[in-house]
Amino acid sequence: MRLEPRTQHSVARQILLPLAALAFAMIVCAVLVMVSGASPLQVFGLMLKGSLGSQFAVLETLTRATPLIFTGLAAAVAFRAKLWNIGGEAQLYIGAVMTVVCGTGLLPLPAPVLIPVLMVVAMLGGALVLSVPTFLKTRFGVDEVVTTLLFNFIAILLVSMLLEGVLKDPMGLGWPQSKKVIAEAQLPRLITGKRLHLGFVVAIIAAIAIWIIDRKSALGFEMRAVGHNTKAATFAGIPVNRVLAKTALLSGGLAGLAGWSEVTGLKGNLTLDLSPGFGYAGIVVAMLALLHPIGVIAAAIFVAAVFVGADAMSRTAGVPSYIAQVMVAVSLLSMVTALMLTRYRLRWR
């Protein structure tokens, strides 16, 4: 068996193969659901109803998609430049820490000033976390995959330490949680009485901004050039290390915003369960979106729908909600395979 580059590019193939990849993920999960003794059709029906079947469900899905758009963008931006940022989780948490440090009364500012200020500090926090592995990569040649992964563990322990130390809420009855951010820091709800908040709008704007940077700016061009072929980029006079550093700032900052929006938009304070793996899920979102910033929005909503739907389904049908994570993981693997098949064909010979 071998691969042969395709000579003709068909639009139909580029649409059908990714769809086939998602269908494959559904089939795998259907088998797993059958193992549990439930009916796949009923389970998928419940998941669809729980994620998109009512106004409440749709809003819940969009709320869950908000941090995923940020972490998805973070991964997409980095992966385009072949900077393998697997540390979205750490950047998210440090972004949240910065938000809580500055947002719980340290800066007594009115809301229109405080909200942008908190965005900036959260981005700085996330950017700083990714800058260290990126520096180690460019300076010492240390593989950033491993270092960013290790930083995820360091960050969560750091947060745990802070929540039992300086950031601990004295009124928190001993729970490891921070104080609530002040009213001026909290994001307004988009619809009164519902959970969807302004962070979602910011996420959409961020996606559009990244798309513009990618398409229209020199930095976007340089990032893609570095990602496609580092050697060629060097020959073309692109300062590769500086581009990677800028990419790290942008990517880490975006992941930091995920922490900011979860704290100020949804939870109000920082706890150790702020993120159920949004950083890791962001990688899947980015790959499902084919690293396209606008595609990230759609992919984030899809992944959020799977998670929200699985939560709702497991309450009624009794199939473990971990089926969502299986579906997301299989989608990732089948999607990268499908992408390869749009460019190559298999020859059995």
Partner 1 sequence: MAMLEILFTASLWAAAIRIASPLIFGTLGELICERAGVLNLGIEGIMTVGAFAGWLTVFLGGDLWLGVVVAAVVGAVFGLLHAVLVVPFGLSQHVTGIGITMLATSLSYYTYRLVFPEVTSPPKIEPFLPYKVPLLGDVPGIGPAVFQQTPLTYLAFCAVAVVAWLLYRTPAGLAIRTVGENPASAEAQGINVVAVRVCAVMAGSALMGIGGSFITLSAFNSFFFEMTNGRGWICIALVVFGSWRPGKALLGAILFGLFDAYQLRLQQLAGAVVPYQLFLMMPFVLSIIALIVMSRRVAYPRALMVPYRKGER
Strands 344-347 and 2-5: antiparallel
| 35 binds partner 1, rule: CB under 8 A | yes
- Rule CB under 8 A: is residue 149 a binding residue for partner 1? yes
* Contact between 153 and partner 1 per CB under 8 A: yes
- Taking CB under 8 A as the binding criterion, the range among 43-51, 178-186, 227-235, 316-324 that sits at the site for partner 1 is 316-324
Output the six-digit token pair for 115: 């909200």
Counting contacts by CB under 8 A, is residue 347 touching partner 1?
no
Q: Does 26 help bind partner 1 (rule: CB under 8 A)?
A: no
Q: Is position 22 an interface residue for partner 1 (rule: CB under 8 A)?
A: no
Confirm or reject binding of residue 86 to partner 1 (CB under 8 A). yes
State yes or no: residue 223 binds partner 1 (CB under 8 A).
no
CA max distance for the chain: 71
Query: Is residue 178 left, alpha or beta, with left meaning phi > 0 and alpha meaning psi from -120 to 50?
Result: beta
**Degrees to nearest 5, angle at CA 296 with 308 and 251:** 110
Q: Residue 294, interface with partner 1 (CB under 8 A)?
A: no
Nearer Cβ to partner 1, position 111 or 149?
149
Is 142 a binding residue for partner 1 by CB under 8 A? The answer is yes
- Ranges assigned E (strand) in the chain: 2-5, 344-347
Quickly tell me which residue has 């998609």 as its tokens. Answer: 65
Q: What single string gives the DSSP state of each residue in 207-219? A: HHHHHHHHHHSHH
Q: Which CB contacts under 8 angstroms, 24+ apart, belong to 55-58?
A: 56/194, 57/308, 57/312
Selected from 17, 18, 21, 32, the binder of partner 1 by CB under 8 A is: 32
Binding residues vs partner 1 (CB under 8 A)? 1-3, 32, 35-36, 84, 86, 136, 140-143, 145-147, 149-151, 153-154, 157-158, 160-161, 164-165, 280, 283-284, 287, 318, 320, 322-323, 325-326, 328-330, 332-333, 336-337, 340
